[in-house]
Structure 1
């Protein structure tokens, strides 16, 4: 195993990305296995970039919330009384306990340790047994705000006050998929998982469909036509590739009422990787996504959700079709977990050596370029 030392891994990554795509190899094992390299990713990427916590439609009513731990900072994203989505520190200002967990609904933010409560805007609502402390002033307490933005129905947070707006970074992507009208997709399931692999292994697995015929031989592999996959060069903030699907899965096609998409776009699936960790499968009829955050070099936290385009919400069979699709997605996830955990086991071995990339792995090459640019800055 490579020495657990960030400069060594950065040097090996620099040598890797110096090659043109036509001669490129997969990234070296050190960038996956090094604890110090992962800490650099936390500090220079996850603490500075935008991180997606899920969909805005999951926060329908005031008090609906999502929690996250971003680069070590507990955050709660909540819809406030005014109807706005905001992000707050999820740490009580008294003895610093975390407060809310998971996703749910809360009338107030309540600390489970001493019962201090906060309004949905973060102001202190109540603090038991504090009246005898002459220095205590309730109005002086307010949970720190965390930057929060919405883009096409997605909710992003960042700890970086200087990060550029999400919409500006993803403007070109928004134009590409405008006919899908992503704002009007409704999330119908959400889960969280931890897999025993490096976060980049899972990200790269999503970024290429080269593995579909083999890794997914038991499910969708037979439907995957390698010669119809298109992998353009990536952009600064994202990469993508596309696949054409046939009408055997009707809800993957544009609904008859959709007059926004024409030609092949009516059956085109976009597989989008928004750096660093949001992976979106977008079809004209449904979507699903993964939002990734490293836990350890060998563990990744996954937010997994999905749903349907509102174009289909009036169709009597649409929900059953999507339920059947969710069953398929669960089976695909089992296959992906097996493949990506095997990759991590292999690259952690002493004889691991990265091979040349296929032309169908162009997004992986662009991802390596992104990582190097952020970590070498």
Structure 2
């Protein structure tokens, strides 16, 4: 009966929400987005109260509708702590990097005194972007008209303003964003939930909840040097990539033959916390002198809404899934390695090659799923209760945010 009710809700929702152009880019995100009726129906079509064994997945419109993505940007991504980078990007004074989330462009930097800061990457004169990419700067000078800001956000110079009236440069500094670190990760918050002076005291509890102790005990370590970054543009909704990550190893024996041979898949277990799910798996015993990048166990932590931390053997890598439009996302991979292996270039190259193979296999899966989601014959699916509990947990968290 519950399944029939949910399917009926989906049918009603999809009648009003099937997008004509699934790849339309999201519009500018306002401070608070009123929920369009089609998106509201899509949210309501998923019932988190139905037990996992009887539940149906969210309707395909969650993955194809541009208005639904706009709602996600407002209710999910621009509220609460978001992973935006790692500490090696801003290791030294004057280091900076930039990013974009929805309609928010931001810059993270360390000022000359080593203080971590973050700002909206927008000149207060005529809205030009101030900085791009990453590197080192002693100040931010607008490439449009030369207005110049310190790395503390203070307006240092406003050019050609003789004769201007009612202007106080103290009111035209860069607009700040809350920023903090947890372990090796840089986090930003765009909704001003706390004063900057208190963020370091609460960020762990806010971001990870009671999972923070488990992650700390499992080698999520600030001392692991950063090796490299790889970025992928994938033709799928950002949640398709997350769902693929959260299926409890369900797809591994079918899609990742080489990876499956290195894992004891029968040992897979899943733990769920407030905003985190953790999948753990033991590795197969490697023969002596064999190449072994996985070590004795692997831990895969998903931090809601879009950040993944993988710790295995001497490696840690992270995956950050950033929505670009309703059917396209960018996934950023960062690789970290134990110091003892930094000089073993052969080990590094072979490990990255194996990882790249897994990514290519996953990209093919995700892009195939997106095409299926856009088919008129697909509505909702089902969960495999023994393995897909983390995916269901993710969907329930989304529903809670989107229903606010």
Question: How much does 1:181 deviate?
Answer: 4.6
Instruction: Tell me the distance in 2 between the aligned counterparts of 1:322 and 1:374.
Output: 40
8 Å contact from structure 2 (residues 112, 138) kept in 1:
no
- Deviations, residues 281-315 of structure 1 (Å, cap 9, x unaligned): 112411111112222110112222111134x35x6
Residue of structure 2 equivalent to 1:256: none
Residue of structure 1 equivalent to 2:29: none
Residue of structure 1 equivalent to 2:377: 351
3-state DSSP class of the match of 1:145?
coil
* Equivalent of residue 196 in structure 1, options 216, 228, 235: 235
Instruction: Tell me the distance in 1 between the aligned counterparts of 2:398 and 2:220.
Output: 30
Counting only pairs closer than 5 Å after superposition, residues 358-377 of structure 1 correspond to structure 2 as 358=384, 359-377=386-404
Aligned length: 357
Q: Which TM-score applies when normalising by structure 2?
A: 0.83
Instruction: Tell me the distance in 2 between the aligned counterparts of 1:200 and 1:182.
Output: 27
- Deviations, residues 87-144 of structure 1 (Å, cap 9, x unaligned): 1110001111112122222222121111212111111122322234344443442101
Residue of structure 2 equivalent to 1:216: 256
Structure 2: which 5+ residue stretches go unaligned? 1-13, 18-37
Residue of structure 2 equivalent to 1:329: 355
- Deviations, residues 60-88 of structure 1 (Å, cap 9, x unaligned): 11222121112311100111111122111
Instruction: Tell me the distance in 1 between the aligned counterparts of 2:55 and 2:399.
Output: 14
- Deviations, residues 339-359 of structure 1 (Å, cap 9, x unaligned): 101101001101114333221
- Deviations, residues 307-366 of structure 1 (Å, cap 9, x unaligned): 1134x35x642x431232112222221111111011010011011143332211111010
8 Å contact from structure 1 (residues 291, 303) kept in 2:
yes
* Pair 184,171 (structure 1): closer, same or farther in 2 beyond 3 Å: farther
Residue of structure 1 equivalent to 2:4: none
Instruction: Tell me the distance in 2 between the aligned counterparts of 1:240 and 1:306.
Output: 19
Counting only pairs closer than 5 Å after superposition, residues 157-176 of structure 1 correspond to structure 2 as 157-162=188-193, 165-169=202-206, 170-176=208-214
Matched, 1:146 2:177: yes
Instruction: Tell me the distance in 2 between the aligned counterparts of 1:52 and 1:245.
Output: 28
Question: How much does 1:238 deviate?
Answer: 0.9
8 Å contact from structure 2 (residues 102, 324) kept in 1:
no
Q: Which TM-score applies when normalising by structure 1?
A: 0.88
Instruction: Tell me the distance in 2 between the aligned counterparts of 1:364 and 1:132.
Output: 60
Counting only pairs closer than 5 Å after superposition, residues 89-108 of structure 1 correspond to structure 2 as 89-108=120-139
Residue of structure 1 equivalent to 2:301: 272
8 Å contact from structure 1 (residues 68, 75) kept in 2:
yes
